[in-house]
Structure 1
């Protein structure tokens, strides 16, 4: 009788445990890219219309802002990483281009989100991406080839208050004299995300951060930087500090 009671209780406990176990859900994930200037949201309506002041006191506006994100990954607590195929060209002038649906589902749980700004050198081959060629995202071979990482353009006021154009373009650094290339893309570990349901994760870009920390940027000295090897290294350093962060997670 005692053995029968023990067996009965064991079966009962197993049944209760099995009943309470829920299968781990698979969830889909989207990234939503937003832009701000030191916390003030930049909307499409601000393009060409709103004046901003950078750390050195230079006043500027934004006429175009496009940037490319690749190699998105989610890493769980055990260190297992899910890498997502594809890349995203974000264009602030096109609201439909501000979200990126990741290519596969993942199990619910805690993750670290990471991504690459631009293309790594091994991905950055001229004429490879026809969709990017069609929107003039490619870099001429005589300027190092491959593709842009970012195009940030507009007008700034110089020390005399006169408006001038700037083209703050991020590309891989190309030394024309030595015909050498330096990979100035970089990977950002954006932070922790808890995924319980299908989720949209906000990725925030602080545009003001491109002009400060660790390198204060003087547009009066460097307003066009495509072919400037040293400037591209400085842009890369600034982008890794205080530009990207996580915002709200909608589930």
Structure 2
């Protein structure tokens, strides 16, 4: 009887071990794809230089150059573990570069939160620290605090005299009293895009910049008053930061199942 009981006990343990075995979660490759729009109208290089956009102030304008810096791109899982997709990426729409970022690692399928930043935070905004950005003239002059641009958006608009006029909408860290010792304010923007579900063998996450928002809320932007020399304009940079809070949003998510 003792021998039979021992055999039954071993069989029970073996069954219990099989029940506890878990199958690892399937993995998915992830990519972030940055797009640009104007209140729903997609903007690509094909639309560059066309005077077809009307902002909140009813200024007719075009976009002929658009470059912007996204940093600290991170996916965080349900346990709070962060995975960095990229430390920084310069998106240059005119050159068709930087729009897509492939994650260096695959992810277990499930829910994650997506966060990133527009521009460098003060901690990372160090003059001449990034050779690839230096090569493309992304730096900010020393009298304005050094470091790097957040965005360069340029084009034409029709002014109040019905004349074609160039504008330069450049976002940087705000600098008060430019010169040898300017007072600096970090105007980079932390972006929280909410929960993302990763599934399939590939997950492509679209992040859209709605350019119309730069001109809209809470500050209605008048290009006739603020169209150039905005980098040394401390108040203009603060306004850009305020308007930029709603510029970026989550677009479509595309899954490949096989």
Query: Shared fold by TM > 0.5?
Result: yes
Counterpart of 2:163 in structure 1 is 162
Counterpart of 1:200 in structure 2 is 204
* Per-residue CA distance 1:103-142 (angstroms, 9 max, x = gap): 3333332111000100011111111111111111111112
Instruction: Give TM-score, length-normalised by structure 1.
Output: 0.91
Aligned residues of 2:206 and 2:251 also touching (Cα < 8 A):
yes
Residues 1:233 and 2:234 aligned together: no
Residues 1:247 and 2:251 aligned together: yes
Distance 1:226 1:35 in 2: 23
Alpha-carbon shift at residue 248 of structure 1 (Å): 1.5
Distance 2:81 2:117 in 1: 18
Distance 1:89 1:26 in 2: 28
Task: Give unmatched runs, 5+ long, in structure 2.
Answer: none
The structure that has the greater radius of gyration is 2
The number of residues matched between the two structures is 248
Distance 1:236 1:145 in 2: 18
Aligned residues of 2:91 and 2:97 also touching (Cα < 8 A):
no
Distance 2:225 2:51 in 1: 23
Alpha-carbon shift at residue 10 of structure 1 (Å): 6.2
Counterpart of 1:212 in structure 2 is 216
Alpha-carbon shift at residue 184 of structure 1 (Å): 0.4
Distance 2:7 2:51 in 1: 80
- More displaced stretch, 85-94 vs 223-232: 85-94
Aligned pairs (5 A) from 1:158-197: 158-176=159-177, 179-196=182-199, 197=201
Alpha-carbon shift at residue 9 of structure 1 (Å): 5.9
Counterpart of 1:67 in structure 2 is 68
Aligned residues of 1:64 and 1:151 also touching (Cα < 8 A):
yes
Aligned residues of 2:139 and 2:147 also touching (Cα < 8 A):
yes
Alpha-carbon shift at residue 204 of structure 1 (Å): 0.6
- What RMSD over aligned residues (CA atoms) do the two structures have, in Å? 2.0
Counterpart of 1:27 in structure 2 is 28
- More displaced stretch, 77-86 vs 44-53: 77-86
Aligned residues of 1:215 and 1:234 also touching (Cα < 8 A):
yes
- More displaced stretch, 187-196 vs 171-180: 171-180
Residues 1:118 and 2:119 aligned together: yes
Instruction: Give TM-score, length-normalised by structure 2.
Output: 0.88
Distance 2:170 2:12 in 1: 70
Aligned residues of 2:174 and 2:187 also touching (Cα < 8 A):
yes
Distance 1:87 1:81 in 2: 16
Distance 1:4 1:204 in 2: 64
Q: Secondary structure at the match of 1:247?
A: strand
Distance 2:32 2:232 in 1: 32
Aligned residues of 1:190 and 1:245 also touching (Cα < 8 A):
yes
Alpha-carbon shift at residue 84 of structure 1 (Å): 4.0
Alpha-carbon shift at residue 50 of structure 1 (Å): 4.5
Aligned residues of 1:191 and 1:245 also touching (Cα < 8 A):
no
Q: Secondary structure at the match of 2:161?
A: coil
Task: Give unmatched runs, 5+ long, in structure 1.
Answer: none
Distance 1:9 1:158 in 2: 84
